[in-house]
């Protein structure tokens, strides 16, 4: 299954500035694994050592929030990676 992943601005240094990438997977965990292959290090910025979504990150599949990495991802979905911003 192919999906689009929209990348939060603070993580775009991992994607060479790309705002969105195509990734593969049937679950959020697989999609992030696919993303990690192309952008080494990006998964660790979102997921901690215990496999939990970091508390300053939110992940959405389309408009629904995904609280677990087991969340289902379907062909054509968009995964949104949202990161707390500090600038004012």
Binding site for another protein (CB under 8 A): 8-14, 19, 40-41, 44, 55-58, 60, 63-65, 80, 82-88
CB of 86 to another protein, least distance (A): 5
* Cα 81-83-87 angle, rounded to 5 deg: 145
Characterise 70 by phi-psi region: left (phi > 0), alpha (psi -120 to 50), beta (else): alpha
CB of 24 to another protein, least distance (A): 21
How far apart, in whole angstroms, are the C-alpha atoms of residue 20 and residue 88? 24
CB of 1 to another protein, least distance (A): 22
State which residue, 24 or 58, has the beta carbon closest to another protein: 58
How far apart, in whole angstroms, are the C-alpha atoms of residue 49 and residue 21? 24
């Amino acid at each position: 299954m192919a999906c689009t992943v929209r990348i939060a601005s603070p993580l775009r240094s991992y994607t060479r500035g790309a705002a969105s990438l195509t990734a593969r997977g049937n679950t959020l965990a697989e999609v992030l694994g696919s993303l990690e292959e192309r952008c080494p290090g990006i998964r660790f910025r979102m997921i901690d050592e215990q496999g939990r979504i970091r508390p300053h990150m939110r992940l959405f599949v389309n408009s629904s929030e995904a609280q677990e990495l087991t969340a289902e991802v379907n062909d054509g979905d968009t995964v949104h990676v949202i990161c707390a911003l500090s600038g004012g």
